[in-house]
Chains A and B, each alone.
Chain A
Amino acid sequence: MALLQISEPGCSTAPHQHRLAVGIDLGTTHSLAATLRSGSAEVIPDERGASLLPSAVRYCAGQPPVVGQDALAAQTTDPLNTIVSVKRLMGRAFQDIAEAAQLPYRLLDAPGMVKLDTAAGAKSPVEVSADILRTLRTRSEAVLGGELTGAVITVPAYFDDAQRQATKDAANLSGLNVLRLLNEPTAAAIAYGLDQGAEGTYAVYDLGGGTFDLSILKLSRGVFEVLATSGNARLGGDDFDQRIYAWILSQTGAAQPSPRDMRLLLAAARDAKEQLSDASSVPLALALGNGQSVDLVLERAAFEEMTRDLVQQTLLPCRKALKDASLSLQDIKGIVLVGGATRMPCIRQAVAEFFGQAPLTNLDPDKVVALGAAIQANILAGNQQTGDWLLLDVTPLSLGIETMGGLTEKIIPRNATLPVTRAQEFTTFKDGQTAMSFHVVQGERELVADCRSLARFELRGIPPMVAGAARIRVTFQVDADGLLSVSAREQTSGVVAAVAVKPSYGLSDGEISRMLSESYQYAQQDLQARSLHEQLTEANRMLEAVAAALASDGDLLSAGERQAIDTLMAALTEATRGSDAGRVKVCLDNLNAGTQVFAGRRMDRSIRHALTGRAIGAIAA
């Protein structure tokens, strides 16, 4: 394992120290990592030179998991212990999984999220994803030669909060510091836009192995503004494979195949599908385990016929996103294709017909998401001081609260630009009511039962009043990271209750630490050491940030104010020399508090500068 890179605190205030950061595309079929090296984004290959890591993990009793190509190779010989397409199970409960019967695994109905029974024990989709991420982390640290500051991990834009939280948990479990979860189509747009210097309104059509996203972005002088996003988190290339698989079964009259044959047939189906992107027909010749043999020919026309409705299903989100952005087809300057499944001619044709123009295909659809994530990671790690571009992303799904009769009251609508804060007033419904419980939900449907439940909390201590007299203001806040927090406040008395929303089926912190201590990597590593390490990293980051701020805007402070900040910095520097995590935290908090006024003045200055720059331009024009 790489040694921890903690620079001597005294020297950490050197203005520029390149921090290692990566972008990771954690895909249903393939995963990969990329980073920014000497100004351009590059994919990080493994020691064999391969950049795509198959998202496959094999679990054998008493051994570390096998990840990638070697696992994939074992899928037909060891189907039950070799997990593929695990992304489709992330954040899902057993009963959410409609296609459970078609999955060649032993699924377990665990509380919260489904689990998979393997030779190495029950594994949650979070743990399987963590094993994939750990492989990419190790690969990246080996190639880049140091510990990573953090990673931007991409998720389908249409992922809900539970799926996002599960992804974040997986990253933490793999030892990665998550700088941001970035929407896949947005990442692709960043890579495309910066590469091609594009300006105007573009649609990104992303059909991967398991998910479909459609996002509309406006690119204007370095600002990437997501106007709307829509999609289907359960539609991808896998579903096209399933159609071929079902067709083979119906043609051969085979009964429910064994897990091994199922894998064999699914792999053959995928192969056939991919070949049909170039060939007009493909032979399917297989010998099944039960002695039966398959000898068929699949014509492209027949394939297109059996998957027509899947292609059509991608057009509804296109319509919805256009409508949400109040745009018509003529406003779209280009359509960027992302995801391996967009190589299918039927997709390209449907997209061209719908948008009335041929899609853009001059980017590698397999890598563009990771490249975009790498560019964003570089900025969020703090490497680019004066970034010349900015991303404004949106909430993919509406957020609301349960009201009387099991109905949803939307507080933050879908496609609201982040960060966003919205408040709404509610009132009591009984005389003398002193408590109120809130149920936070996500989704577009009117009935709470059809939405996803995110959290519940209570406001207590409301002074007794007649029904309808109390004024309870509920505030929803989603920050730039897409994290939701909700608070409720009774306006006349000022009683407050708040929660940072963590979905009920996300992992609790306790569960995470248990998994951490169980995982191979951390078996010997003390959690306490980890906490100290985290505090030190944060402290150094803070010291560096304050020093840089003082260097550029020190003139905003009086001599006395400057003196006070210097003292707090010295105290924190001193604390980082010891090994008391608690002390570091206290000094860190003090420095944070002590720089509040300074931060306000700096913000003020940057806004004034931005506005005067504008005003001068306007006068000159």
Chain B
Amino acid sequence: MSEAGAAMLDFAQNHLDLFGLPSRFDMDVAALEERYRTLQSAIHPDRHASAPETQRRLAEQWAGQVNEAYRVLKSPLERGRYLLSLHGVDALAPTQTSMPAEFLMQQMEWREELAEARGDHAALCRLEQALQQEHHGLLNALSSQLDELGQYEVAGETLRKLKFIARLEEEVGEAFEAW
């Protein structure tokens, strides 16, 4: 039997297809990791160390693409953004600035809390917890908006909120470090 005639795999294909995973936000992380390792074990340039130069170069390209897909799929935020882009929504485009007023208010409150909590370990811990809770809730919302309801514009807004929260969490982390 010859595979010569078969259509070639395309490494620029959809990240989820590359990993053979369903096009859903909710993801079996263990399966993702497992497939990542399987793919890299087959294509990584070090696995082709004694192959002709052309093949090693191809291996570089494939491995780079698999790394990129893995990075995106592993992070819930990036994964959500990617799924939305497949549905034609550029959720984090610079033009996308609208946010519900109440979320913006909440944002400001948290920011004030952070400013006051600098150097206060207990207060930082409280804020960290509140943010974690919010983060968790947003992920659940995103999951149902993407996988069940198909509300992509709404999901885009959820994603922007998530991005805000993630940035705040980062700042809290830095405040811990400074402390």
Interface residues in chain A, defined as those with a beta carbon under 8 Å from any beta carbon in chain B: 220-223, 225, 319, 323, 379-382, 385, 387, 390-392, 416-422, 477, 479-480, 541-542, 544-546, 548-549, 555-558, 591-593, 595-596, 599-611, 613-615, 618
Give the distance to chain B from A154, nearest Cβ to Cβ, in Å. 16
Asked if B53 lies at the interface with its beta carbon under 8 angstroms from chain A, I say yes
Question: A413 — nearest CB in chain B belongs to which residue?
Answer: B71
Asked whether A607 and B54 contact (CB < 8 A) given A220-B37, A379-B49, A558-B4, the answer is no
* A595 partner residues in chain B, CB cutoff 8 A: 52, 54-55
8 A-B residue pairings within 8 Å (CB atoms): A382-B50, A420-B67, A480-B46, A548-B50, A592-B53, A604-B3, A607-B62, A611-B35
* Pair B46/A387 contact, Cβ less than 8 Å: yes
Task: Name the one of A225, A323, A417, A596 contacting B54, with C-beta atoms under 8 angstroms.
Answer: A596
* A556 partner residues in chain B, CB cutoff 8 A: 2-4
A599 to B65, CA, bound (A): 17
Task: Name the one of A223, A225, A323, A419 contacting B64, with C-beta atoms under 8 angstroms.
Answer: A419
Which of B51, B67, B71 gathers most chain A CB within 10 Å? B51
Give the distance to chain A from B4, nearest Cβ to Cβ, in Å. 5
Question: B42 — nearest CB in chain A belongs to which residue?
Answer: A610
Asked whether A606 and B4 contact (CB < 8 A) given A382-B49, A382-B50, the answer is no
Give the distance to chain A from B51, nearest Cβ to Cβ, in Å. 6
* Pair B49/A610 contact, Cβ less than 8 Å: no
* B65 partner residues in chain A, CB cutoff 8 A: 421
What number of B residues sit within 8 Å (CB to CB) of A?
A: 43
* Pair A379/B46 contact, Cβ less than 8 Å: yes
Task: Name the one of B9, B55, B68, B71 contacting A607, with C-beta atoms under 8 angstroms.
Answer: B9
* Pair A419/B45 contact, Cβ less than 8 Å: yes
* Pair B34/A390 contact, Cβ less than 8 Å: no
A603 to B34, CA, bound (A): 20
* Pair B58/A599 contact, Cβ less than 8 Å: yes
* Pair A421/B42 contact, Cβ less than 8 Å: no
Asked whether A599 and B42 contact (CB < 8 A) given A419-B64, A556-B2, the answer is no
* Pair B44/A592 contact, Cβ less than 8 Å: no
Task: Name the one of A379, A419, A541, A607 contacting B67, with C-beta atoms under 8 angstroms.
Answer: A419
Task: Name the one of A382, A420, A480, A609 contacting B42, with C-beta atoms under 8 angstroms.
Answer: A609
What 0/1 readout, one digit per residue, does chain B (48-79) give for beta carbons within 8 Å of chain A?
01111111001110111101101100000000
* Pair B4/A480 contact, Cβ less than 8 Å: no
* Pair B43/A387 contact, Cβ less than 8 Å: no
Asked whether A222 and B62 contact (CB < 8 A) given A595-B52, A601-B3, the answer is no
* Pair B58/A600 contact, Cβ less than 8 Å: yes
Interface residues in chain B, defined as those with a beta carbon under 8 Å from any beta carbon in chain A: 1-4, 6, 8-9, 20, 31, 33-35, 37-47, 49-55, 58-60, 62-65, 67-68, 70-71, 173, 177
Give the distance to chain A from B28, nearest Cβ to Cβ, in Å. 10
Asked whether A607 and B53 contact (CB < 8 A) given A420-B67, A601-B3, A615-B20, the answer is no
* A319 partner residues in chain B, CB cutoff 8 A: 177
* Pair B3/A480 contact, Cβ less than 8 Å: no
* Pair A549/B51 contact, Cβ less than 8 Å: yes
Asked whether A603 and B58 contact (CB < 8 A) given A391-B46, A611-B20, the answer is yes
Question: B53 — nearest CB in chain A belongs to which residue?
Answer: A592
Task: Name the one of B2, B49, B59, B67 contacting A603, with C-beta atoms under 8 angstroms.
Answer: B59
A558 to B65, CA, bound (A): 29
* Pair B8/A480 contact, Cβ less than 8 Å: no
A187 to B54, CA, bound (A): 28
The 6 A-B pairs at the shortest CB distance, nearest first, are namely A382-B50, A610-B42, A599-B55, A599-B54, A419-B64, A480-B45
* Pair A614/B34 contact, Cβ less than 8 Å: yes
A392 to B36, CA, bound (A): 11
* Pair B2/A555 contact, Cβ less than 8 Å: yes
* A557 partner residues in chain B, CB cutoff 8 A: 4
* Pair B9/A546 contact, Cβ less than 8 Å: no
A77 to B55, CA, bound (A): 55
Given contacts A602-B55, A606-B42, 16 further A-B contacts (CB under 8 A): A220-B33, A223-B37, A390-B47, A416-B67, A417-B71, A545-B52, A556-B4, A557-B4, A592-B52, A595-B52, A595-B54, A601-B4, A602-B51, A604-B9, A610-B43, A614-B35
* Pair B49/A381 contact, Cβ less than 8 Å: yes
* Pair B41/A600 contact, Cβ less than 8 Å: no
Give the distance to chain B from A297, nearest Cβ to Cβ, in Å. 39
* Pair B49/A607 contact, Cβ less than 8 Å: no
Which of B3, B40, B50, B60 gathers most chain A CB within 10 Å? B50
A419 to B65, CA, bound (A): 9
* B45 partner residues in chain A, CB cutoff 8 A: 419, 479-480
Give the distance to chain B from A412, nearest Cβ to Cβ, in Å. 11
* B55 partner residues in chain A, CB cutoff 8 A: 549, 595, 599, 602-603
A430 to B157, CA, bound (A): 35
